[in-house]
Structure 1
């Protein structure tokens, strides 16, 4: 007489048969904003998104822009020539590729997507089973990072990756002016 299988010995078998739910894949993104030696420095606007092979947007991940604009001395918002409070959204079209590929269709601020501009340094974000990537079908994609800075330049860096990854993968790229090191870690 053989002993009945315990549930721990069934787990590998069920996983191999595809009966168990798949583990959620994760995408970790690291974006470096470099220190620039310029007379008047403005923090860059940055957009991060995922594109399909046909260059259509598969997922919007983040947009860093001037969320609030204060008047002199940190007072009430600055007022434009039309008498209305000025908003940092006016400059979002300077992120040209992001704007053309779907940015213009997003009302800002967008919960979970938009946040304030970031200072010089390395900024990390993780996207997993509760992010826009959760419904992404398996395939080949590009992570795209675009930066634009007032009185500065524009730069776009992209990294191709497979989703979900079969094995942990780390990809690195570097900008030349407005962006520093970009790192993407894809985890199964």
Structure 2
């Protein structure tokens, strides 16, 4: 009986470590505190496109509760991913966020839940603020190259953005 319990415990340990080691991409996004002028929380879209520019997955969409009519102001995301299906938008949108640090993870799956194929992708972060600025930053990632880290410089509407790909087999 003890032998069986040990086997189960070791199996559970291996299973949990496999889950922990699952590949993922993490975007650490900072929204700076802006004190000059009229401040409104920004609309933010974080999404991934494949090498052909086709949207793969929207990772995060932060909009004002009644802001659907303003979604088109998140220009690139709207043209690429948003305007085709408002029920999709309703399913992923959440409230705007105040200044602070936010972690956004991607499990390397597309909108349908299927794992993406190895290749090159681009992570986009678009931040738009009423009576403020508009910033669109991007970072290419190559899923065939293994683990990866990049730091994108601060912009008017974002602080430094860290992007990390981890758990990739070499």
The number of residue pairs the alignment matches comes to 146
Distance 1:131 1:164 in 2: 17
Q: 1: distance between equivalents of 2:145 and 2:165? A: 6
Match of 1:25 in 2: 23
Within 1, Cα distance between the matches of 2:95 and 2:41?
10
From 141, 158, 172, give the equivalent of 2:138.
158
CA distance in 2, matches of 1:58, 1:145: 14
Structure 2 Cα separation of the partners of residues 62 and 134 of structure 1 = 18
| Alignment match of 1:124 (pick from 83, 100, 103) | 103
Match of 2:58 among 41, 60, 64: 60
Three-state SS of the structure 2 residue aligned to 1:101 is: helix
Residue number in structure 2 paired with 1:95: 74
Tell which structure's C-alpha radius of gyration is larger: 1
Q: Kindly report the root-mean-square deviation, in angstroms, between the aligned alpha carbons of the 2 structures.
A: 2.2
Q: In the TM superposition, what are the counterparts of 1:1-188 in structure 2 within 5 Å?
A: 24-67=22-65, 87-107=66-86, 109-111=89-91, 113-128=92-107, 132=111, 134-163=114-143, 166=146, 168-187=147-166, 188=168
Provide structure 1 residue ranges, at least 5 long, that are not aligned to the other structure. Answer: 1-22, 68-86
Offset at residue 54 of structure 1 (A): 2.2
**What secondary structure sits across from 1:135 in the alignment?**
coil
Question: How far did 1:42 drift?
Answer: 0.1
What TM-score, normalized by structure 2, do the two folds share?
A: 0.77
Residue 110 of structure 1 and its aligned partner are, at CA, apart by 3.3
The unaligned stretches of length 5 or more in structure 2 are 1-20
Q: CA deviation at 1:157?
A: 0.5
